[in-house]
Amino acid sequence: MSAAVFSAAGGGLECRFMGEVLRIEPWGADALRVRARPGREFVAGHVDALLPIGPQAGEIEIGESAATITHGRIRGEITLTERYGAEIKREAVIRFCRADTGEELLAETRSHFAGPRTRSFKALASGSWRLEQQFRAYEGESLWGMGQPQHGCMNLKGVSTTLMQQNAHAVIPFVVSSRGYGLLWNNPAVGRAEFARNVTRWTAEATGGLDYWITAGDGPREIVRAYVAATGRSPEVPDWVLGFWQCKLRYRTQEELLGVAREYRRRGLPLSCIVIDFFAWTRQGEWKFDPDDWPDPEAMVAELTEMGVELMVSIWPTVSAASENYREMTEQGLLLTTERGIPAVIPFPDKDPFGPGFFTYYDAFNPDAQAFHWDLARRNYLDRGIRHFWLDACEPEMRPAHPENVRTAMGNGAEMLCAYPLLHEETYRRGLTDAGAADGVLLCRSAWAGSQRHGVILWSGDVWSDWEWFRAQIPAGLHAGLAGMGWWTTDIGGFYDGHGGSEAFRELLVRWFEFGVFSPICRLHGFRVPDDVPPPSPGEPVTYGQDTFNIFTNSGGSNEVWSFGGRVETVLVGLLALRERLRPYLEDVFAQYAETGDPVMAPLFYHFPRQAALNDRADAYMLGPDLLVAPVLEEGATERSVALPEGEAWVHAWTGDGYPGGSIASVAAPWGKPPVFIRAARADALKAIFEDAKT
């Protein structure tokens, strides 16, 4: 029987049983890749997050009804298992364990003995299936990663999450387990991941086959490093990125934007980057400045450069039927289309004064479309001095979200769309590098597995300006870091419903700004209520004074550090100075991230493993290896109690008071001085960061 079922081929283990071909092969140190599909052969076609590797061979043992492959510290086992009472009596079941200890890491299971099977393929067409992959659930297991969610949970155990890119919900399907493994669902299909108490289930709504990667490691640090090595390391960060970024919705003209930059310089305030948000173009899909509003981009870039300020410009991948490029792109097959109905996937306003239009996207799965799009971006932006791009709406955003009604050059949208941001980012990174502008920076609203290798800053999308959403940003950033995205940021103050004249919003803004200063990237942005709209009374809803689509084409309220009253301005100016003093420390932290993949902003357990009490903590985090940050997360709070990890002594950054590891530190938290603790062993080296602010 074994000769017909199991075989060693190309360094991997293959199993052909019940009409399914299954292959487990080495893919990096202590890691295995698993692929399976009905039929006789694997079919290439989906986007691969894993980097190619040279030949590797596992240690393979084949028996009568079982076979194993061992590679470093991980062993994969395939067993032909009897299923009494099942519709099919036997199936090939996979189990992973530590090769050195025999401890089980993860094993396939069924939710019921009668089915569905552990790997369930439901045919959609001759080469496409709806796939369910089921694993055992383990009591006491903690799980982290999966990109950038907004559910606010640090431990993913018990969480069900969609595998579909959406605004503020970035899908990077890599999960880290407290049991000592990491798993990458290497499949760009739309689906769902469920980490229930009774079963772990991954689903793909449409796919050509199963593909995942699993690694074993002694704790999250080894696991994350292995994942980043397998999917690509980040480049070194340009120094200016670590300074302060000014942004709002939206600067309408060249002179308005330059006026803001000049005012920062007149006030002597640090400013590293200023950002042009959307609608700086003529029409969506033309990818060029509107000359009426931006008459001389070269002169604008030159003046900003003289000030020491970098410029970033928002470019969307959307294409309007009114665009001058629409007909050519349609005829050449360069656009995402629909499977049925009109070829549009999102209604949105444009510069035309006719209200919302209907748009599609260039097809990032088509190399010809990538080249067409980048050629326009190069000629209209890069050749005019702009090398930093805000790649907004790159999920791609769809309303309503029906990916199965989208057709890409590589297949149906349900099979492919999670990888759209990866290929869009790759287009820009390759284009910038080929043009001699490899230091160009990309700010993106979405990402997929491997995006970090393209030098991408992920930001948490259009989140609301309230305390619940603010609290959710901490686990969002921590999960993103564990999924490889060390370059991460959030809209300081939130995006929607912030009124600069509201005292309640001003308090939230200050606390969010404190968090932003101690985030990897510090960027002030938001769709503020227009200045001429009175602030709401307590308990009243926020209003923008008119339909928000109309305001999009004009501008939101003021959003500079001096826009919120004298008291707030004083605090924010002090925080800007603090960020400047923090930059040398951050340079070292970002260099470590580029070298190893260690998150810039990391959960406490990443630096203090084997302390189970830290696994669910989302109220504090480590910024680099030496600073513990505990943001103020409750309205009206002026102090905080912080449970400090064991094994280290700590120093309160603002007072210099010492605290033993494992203790509870209750500290004052006035505006501008969020609770920050320094590892005692590094206190002398880092105390100067906080010296100027102690008084």
Return the closest-CA partner of residue 446 out of 175, 184, 168. Answer: 168
Q: Is residue 529 part of a domain?
A: no
Q: Is residue 537 part of a domain?
A: no
Q: 68-82, 400-414, 544-558: lowest mean pLDDT where?
A: 544-558
Q: Identify the band that residue 476 occupies on the pLDDT scale cut at 50, 70 and 90.
A: very high
Residue 356 per-residue DSSP state:
-
| Residue 35 lies in domain | 2-231
- Taking residues 98-105, report their average pLDDT: 98
Q: Is residue 508 part of a domain?
A: no
Q: Is the pLDDT of residue 398 over 80?
A: yes
**CA atoms within 13 Å, Cβ hemisphere of 541:** 3
- Vertex 433: Cα angle to 271 and 170 (nearest 5): 65
Give the pLDDT of residue 692: 72
pTM for the full model?
0.97
Q: 38-47, 350-359, 656-665: lowest mean pLDDT where?
A: 350-359
- Percent of the chain clearing pLDDT 90 (strictly above): 90
Residues 179, 197 contacting (CB under 8 angstroms): no
Q: Is residue 92 part of a domain?
A: yes
Q: Give the tens place of pLDDT for each residue, 399-440.
A: 888 999 999 999 999 999 999 999 999 999 999 999 999 999
Interacting residues of 218 by C-beta distance below 8 A, sequence separation 6+: 180
Q: Is the pLDDT of residue 475 over 50?
A: yes
Q: 50-59, 118-127, 202-211: lowest mean pLDDT where?
A: 118-127
Q: Is the pLDDT of residue 85 over 80?
A: no
Return the closest-CA partner of residue 189 out of 203, 170, 168. Answer: 203
- Taking residues 286-315, report their average pLDDT: 98
Give the pLDDT of residue 354: 66
Residues annotated as catalytic (active site), given as ranges:
392, 395, 462
More confident residue, 87 or 674: 674
- Cα torsion through 524, 511, 643, 593, rounded to 10: 10
* Strand 310-315 with 388-391, pairing: parallel
Give the pLDDT of residue 695: 45
Residue 606, phi then psi, degrees to nearest 5: -65, -40
- Percent of the chain clearing pLDDT 70 (strictly above): 98
Q: Is the pLDDT of residue 301 over 70?
A: yes
Q: Is the pLDDT of residue 111 over 90?
A: no
DSSP assignment of 93-134 = EEEEEETTT--EEEEB--SSTTSS-SEEEEEEETTEEEEEEE
Residues 557, 493 contacting (CB under 8 angstroms): no
Number of domains making up the chain: 1
The span from the CA of 663 to the CA of 680, in Å, is 14
Q: Is residue 152 part of a domain?
A: yes
Q: Is residue 81 part of a domain?
A: yes
Return the closest-CA partner of residue 311 out of 387, 391, 235. Answer: 387
The two structure tokens encoding residue 191? 């689906």
CATH of residue 227: 2.60.40.1760
Q: Is residue 354 part of a domain?
A: no
Give the pLDDT of residue 116: 87
Length of the chain equals 695
Q: Is the pLDDT of residue 45 over 50?
A: yes
Q: Identify the band that residue 691 occupies on the pLDDT scale cut at 50, 70 and 90.
A: confident
Q: Is the pLDDT of residue 277 over 50?
A: yes
Return the closest-CA partner of residue 394 out of 422, 368, 366, 435. Answer: 422
> Please, what is the angle between helix 367-380 and helix 420-434, to 10°?
50
DSSP assignment of 497-511 = SB-TT-HHHHHHHHH
Mean pLDDT for the chain overall: 95
Q: Identify the band that residue 549 occupies on the pLDDT scale cut at 50, 70 and 90.
A: confident
Q: Is residue 456 part of a domain?
A: no
Q: Identify the band that residue 1 occupies on the pLDDT scale cut at 50, 70 and 90.
A: very low
* Strand 406-408 with 337-338, pairing: antiparallel
